[in-house]
Amino acid sequence: MNITQESTGDLTATIQIELLPEDYQTQVNTTLKDLQKKSTLKGFRPGKVPFGMIKKMYGKNVVAEEVNKVLSDALNNYIVENKLEILGYPIANIDKNKEIDFENNTKFEFFFDIGMSPTFDIEISEKTEVDFYDIQVEDKIVDNYLDETRKRFGSLTNTETVEDGETIVKGEIVQLDADGNVMEEGIKNNTSISLNFIKDKEVLKEFIGKKKEDKIRFNPLKATENAAETSSMLGIKKEDAENLESDFEFTISEISRNEPAKVDKELFTKVFPNENIEDEKQFREKLRSDAKGYYQTESENFFVHNAMDKLIHDTKIDLPDEFVKRWLTESDKKITKESVESDYEQYEKSLKHQLIINKISKDNDIKVEEKNIKDHIKNFYAKQYMIDSTNEEMMKQLDALADSVMQNKEETNKIYDQLLDAELRELFLSKLKKNTKEVTYDEFIKIVNEHHNNHKHEH
């Protein structure tokens, strides 16, 4: 076997692999002998078909199969042993590769084009400054938190009349035909409807003032503007609810209203059982603190997002563009040359994003290993099922469960990305310089929306 590499540009090269008979012939003979032992052919006893006949029948296909195996291993090993950091994967060079005759040739030559990962420097330090939006929790936010908390811990009381959006009505809902008659084989369900989920104001008006045994006709999907809510209301699958056009008739059997909880010691204890809160002022400050924690997470997420955008923008990274375009069309047959050309800026940004993550991870010794992924899975299920870590039998089952989850490569990759993102997030927050700006939540939302809209226009 002979392997050579020829540079074809600043970041491209062609790998030439020459395979000789000694590289594959032994395995070819072994495979043919196995076929001989298993073969049954009229006129011969099982396993006694002459080797020459087996070779004539299967030789070409076996040679092709074994050559491709050796070729694949040789190419991968060459890349690993020479520590080549490549983009994507090698692409067969159609111009140099000749048509292969596996039946008559014994020496085979293959050519592969590769794109090399560019070298660049990137420093995660206070030299890079990124805006950090410190969201201030206004009194109106605390008021909303308090209202929602009172509703969440409120109690249902039966009423005679539908009063407002806080009302919950129970009853039977049946599907109607185009003439407004009940469909014999139509959808029928005993359900409860929270009027908070009725988005159509005209339908909501129809409910207000109604009493038990009253009927209301409406289209659930138009009323809720939500397929998930509609499917729950009707007891059908979400996909069946997505294009529902029928009207339905709802007969009220029970009316109840959520009475918000009183702002007292009982509510304080229910919401914060581990806190000693004595009055509404302390309760509001605790709600403010919780809101601040939630908004802090949003601020940090946006900071990390902007930091990565800035690093991509400020870091000069040269790519072997023509190779990348070829690789994109080769890797996914749905991607056309035309779409690559028109969307290349986005593909380029995505690739640079990944290269920067790889570089930062390498420079800062950030690693997500199999053990980290397994521990994450075990911790997740241990918390979910409140598993006692001292219970050996349960821990063994948890270990087996984690192994089972890790068989799903898609799920494993998702967890890998989550853990890597968490490491990068911590690095950015601790090392980059924050240009802190105090904003209200409304101002923050406006800034985020403008940012995303600008990104859409760029693409």
* Cβ atoms within 10 Å of 302's Cβ, excluding its own: 19
Give the number of domains in the chain. 3
| Statement to judge: residues 101 and 171 lie in one domain | no
Secondary structure element (H or E) that encloses residue 206, with its range: helix 201-207
pLDDT, one tens digit per residue, over 138-147 is 999 999 999 9
Counting residues of the chain whose pLDDT is more than 90, the rounded percentage is: 83
CATH number at residue 161: 3.10.50.30
Q: Residue 459: what pLDDT?
A: 52
Is residue 316 in a domain?
Answer: yes
Question: Could you give the 3-state DSSP secondary structure of residue 182?
Answer: strand
Domain around 212: 155-259
pLDDT > 90? residue 287: yes
| Statement to judge: residues 290 and 401 lie in one domain | yes
Is residue 78 in a domain?
Answer: yes
| Statement to judge: residues 341 and 404 lie in one domain | yes
| Statement to judge: residues 311 and 429 lie in one domain | yes
Global pTM value: 0.76
| Statement to judge: residues 298 and 165 lie in one domain | no
| Statement to judge: residues 344 and 429 lie in one domain | yes
pLDDT > 90? residue 360: yes
Is residue 245 in a domain?
Answer: yes
| Statement to judge: residues 215 and 361 lie in one domain | no
Pairing of strands 129-136, 433-440: parallel
CA of 454: how far to CAs of 371, 440, 448, 450, in Å?
40, 21, 10, 6
Whether the Cβ atoms of residue 258 and residue 147 lie closer than 8 Å to each other:
no
- For all residues of the chain together, what is the average pLDDT? 93
| Statement to judge: residues 308 and 210 lie in one domain | no
d(CA 128, CA 357): 16
Is residue 223 in a domain?
Answer: yes
| Statement to judge: residues 286 and 419 lie in one domain | yes
Is residue 379 in a domain?
Answer: yes
pLDDT, one tens digit per residue, over 27-75 is 999 999 988 888 877 778 777 888 888 888 888 999 999 999 999 999 9
Q: Residue 56: what pLDDT?
A: 87
Q: Residue 233: what pLDDT?
A: 96
pLDDT, one tens digit per residue, over 198-211 is 999 999 999 999 99
d(CA 45, CA 326): 53
Question: Could you give the 3-state DSSP secondary structure of residue 106?
Answer: coil
Burial class (CB in 10 A: 0-12, 13-18, 19+), 408: exposed
CA of 217: how far to CAs of 169, 203, 248, 290, in Å?
14, 9, 6, 42
pLDDT, one tens digit per residue, over 208-225 is 999 999 999 999 999 999
Q: Residue 458: what pLDDT?
A: 59
| Statement to judge: residues 255 and 296 lie in one domain | no
Q: Letter for the amino acid at 429?
A: L
CATH number at residue 64: 3.30.70.1050
CA of 61: how far to CAs of 180, 273, 387, in Å?
68, 73, 55
| Statement to judge: residues 301 and 442 lie in one domain | yes
Region 288-305 average pLDDT: 96
